[in-house]
Amino acid sequence: MEKKALVTGASRGIGEAVARVLAREGYDLFLVCRNAKEDIRKIQEGIVREYGICCETALCDVSDFRQVETMIKSAGEIHVLVNNAAVSYVGLLTDMSIDQWHQVMNTNLNSLFYICRLVVPQMVRRREGKIINVSSVWGNAGASMEVAYSASKGGVNSFTKALAKELAPSNIQVNGAAFGVIDTRMNACFSKEEMDRLRQEIPADRLGSAMEAAEMINQIIHAPSYLTGQIITMDGGWI
């Protein structure tokens, strides 16, 4: 049976790299992004041309349950779910608006509930499935000036561990990948000087690449089924 993977936040960065790695592995794909229609179309065309797999796309704001509901109906049977979509906010907590707080929480954490609530029943019916939630080292340790992002990713970690226990009897594995600084557009808010200082703190003396993150996610997907409920950290020895 052909297996299909759903990847959110797939128009760039880690999500795009995951899509390419899973296409290489022979998965059919359902790629989701919020509004980068042209970007995700180009990714779709390139993947189909290179790997010959079936690749569908959808525009969906994963922070909105109604949009998620419509998207999941279109996706069909999902065997691997990679919850990658996320937004960040850098600044003092006291400068953050209520709407900005809700945007981070709805996109980074509530979306996991929305999507899993709709995908898990089919996995339980098949008694098979893999769920990978993309987290961050800040979900483990917390970061000054990124309180909302840290809190959301800490929630992702707890969500992952709890859901793994709930679904283990149904042979569904739920794991998280907590990354350090990965070289993606999410870091565009930092100046070159700030990034240079940050790089100096990392024992590996470099940023991670999106492809390295994707390969880690692929390894988790193909790990023995006894691996579940884990938050696996890859950060170049940083935190």
Q: Looking at 27, 51, 149, 226, which residue is catalytic?
A: 149
Q: Give yes or no: 27 in active site.
A: no
Q: Where are the alpha helices (DSSP H) in the chain?
A: 13-24, 37-51, 65-75, 98-105, 111-126, 137-141, 147-167, 192-201, 210-221
SS3 7: strand
**CB 80, CB 130: distance < 8 Å:** yes
Strands of 231-234's sheet, edge to edge? 55-59, 28-33, 4-8, 80-83, 129-136, 172-179, 231-234
Residue 203 CB partners (closer than 8 Å, separation 6+): 236, 237, 238
For 77, list phi and psi in degrees, rounded to 5.
Answer: -75, 125
Q: How is 187-229 classified by DSSP, letter by letter?
A: GGGS-HHHHHHHHHHSTTSSPBPHHHHHHHHHHHHTS-TT--S
Q: How far apart are CA 237 and CA 123, in angstroms?
A: 35
- Determine if residue 234 is left, alpha or beta; phi over 0 gives left, psi from -120 to 50 gives alpha, anything else beta: beta
**CB 89, CB 146: distance < 8 Å:** yes
**Which positions are annotated as active-site residues?**
149
